[in-house]
Chains A and B, each alone.
Chain A
Amino acid sequence: MAKRNRIDIIEDILTSIKNKGRIRPTHVMYKSNLSHRQMKSYLEELLEKNFIRKVEGKSNNNYLTITETGIKFLEKIREMKEFEEAFGL
């Protein structure tokens, strides 16, 4: 299996959040197959870019949801990967 690059990891994170609707950060870590340190750094970046946001659930648990900007970026990544495959880049 080929090594994932930064964009692949961001795609995995955004996809897992989008598929679940809202998800706990630890579940993102398992679903995206990342270490705690890696996940923290990626989530900080995605929050900063407004691709995801934190929402508070029952018993003060933090959840993550994807924003419209995040959905648009995810679409761009998928479009780009399809383009890459078509042109053999």
Chain B
Amino acid sequence: MLKIVYSPSWFYPADLIIDIFSMLILALIAFLSFKYYKIRKGNKNYFWLSLSFSLLAVSFLFKLLTNFTIYRHVENTTTIGFVTITIHSFASSNLISSIGFLGFRFLMLLGLFILYRIYQKSSSPYDTLVIVYLIAIITYFSREEYFVFHLTSLIFLSFITSIYYKNYKKSGNTNSQLLFYSFTLISVSQLAFMMIESYLFFYIVGEIVQLAGYLVLLITLVRIIKHGKKK
């Protein structure tokens, strides 16, 4: 049976807005990377960066569409004699939910893996195939054990965050520092999401920390774009 953790009903529109915001930031990074890839034709890193952020943005699109389908209330109003009854029910389809959540998780992990791989010199293409296979397995089994997906995301994000920390220490650049902060916050949000099966409250914590992470990422991007026009 597919496990789906619902947002508390009072938080319902907020989590969709946070996810839309996160998706737009990820799509903006993918767009910028692709624009720079066209300028620096020889630099494949830009291509991979664009691909990884595109996958992350699409994963959020899957999540949004799935959540939207699940949360959509259908009102059935029936009148029996003098009494009018309004029934609220979830218009959810198990198939759509399964495909949506599996798509979200698989693309998210694949995007994070590609992002991590940009900074690690590949030893063999077989290693990549093995990791992609393992990501598929993790995605499948995370249907039963929800936290496995967030644990795997946390592991990838921790590696990426440590790379950004080293980059910040090396360059001393403020934007590198902000990038490190944003990925730290996004990693912490995964930690909160891991605990939502015990306390639903952590879902709200996770979403708010995620929002803070993407806000810092947006500030970083604004600073980068402004830098071009400054001189």
A77 within 8 A of B: yes
Within A30-89, which residues are at the interface with B (CB < 8 Å)?
Answer: 75-80, 82-89
Query: Do A78 and B228 form a contact, CB below 8 Å, given A86-B175, A88-B171?
Result: yes
Q: How many residues from A make CB contacts under 8 Å with B?
A: 16
Q: How far is the CA of A79 from the CA of B227 in the complex (A)?
A: 6
**B155 at interface (Cβ–Cβ under 8 A)?**
no
Q: Report Cα–Cα, A86/B46, bound state, in Å.
A: 13
Contacts A/B (CB < 8 Å), 9 sampled: A5-B42, A76-B39, A78-B230, A78-B231, A79-B228, A80-B228, A82-B175, A86-B175, A89-B46
Q: A78-B227, A82-B228 are in contact. List 18 more A-B contacts (CB 8 A).
A: A7-B39, A75-B228, A76-B39, A77-B39, A77-B228, A78-B228, A79-B224, A79-B227, A79-B228, A79-B229, A82-B223, A85-B175, A86-B179, A86-B224, A87-B167, A88-B164, A88-B170, A89-B49
Min CB distance A66 to B, Å, is 13
Nearest chain B CB to A8 CB, angstrom units: 11
Shortest beta-carbon distance from B178 to chain A in Å: 8
The reply to whether the CB of B220 lies closer than 8 angstroms to some CB of chain A is yes
- Which single residue of chain A is at the shortest CB-CB distance from B180? A86
Give the docked Cα–Cα distance between A83 and B42 (Å).
16
Which of A83, A88, A89 meets B224, CB within 8 Å? A83
Which secondary structure characterizes the binding site on chain B? helix
Interface hub of A5, A83, A84 (most chain B Cβ within 10 A):
A83
Q: How far is the CA of A85 from the CA of B168 in the complex (A)?
A: 9
Q: Tell me what chain A mostly uses at the interface: helix, strand, loop, or mixed.
A: helix
Residues of B in contact with A (beta carbons under 8 Å apart): 32-33, 35-36, 39-40, 42-43, 45-46, 49, 118-119, 163-164, 166-167, 170-171, 173, 175-176, 178-179, 220, 223-225, 227-231
- Provide the residues of chain A in CB contact with B32, threshold 8 Å: 83
Please indicate the chain A residues that have their CB under 8 angstroms from the CB of B223 in the complex: 82
> A89: shortest Cβ distance to chain B, in Å?
5
User: Smallest Cβ distance from B14 to chain A, in angstroms?
Assistant: 29
- Nearest chain B CB to A22's CB is how many angstroms away? 19
Q: Would you call A76 and B49 a contact (CB within 8 A)?
A: no
A83 contacts across to B, CB distance below 8 A: 32-33, 36, 224
Structural contact, B40 and A82, CB atoms closer than 8 A:
no
Report chain A residues within 8 Å CB of B35: 76
Q: How near does chain B come to A27, taking the closest CB pair, in angstroms?
A: 20
CB pair B36 A80 closer than 8 Å: yes
A77-B39, A80-B36, A80-B40 given as contacts; is B163 within 8 A of A88 (CB)?
Answer: yes
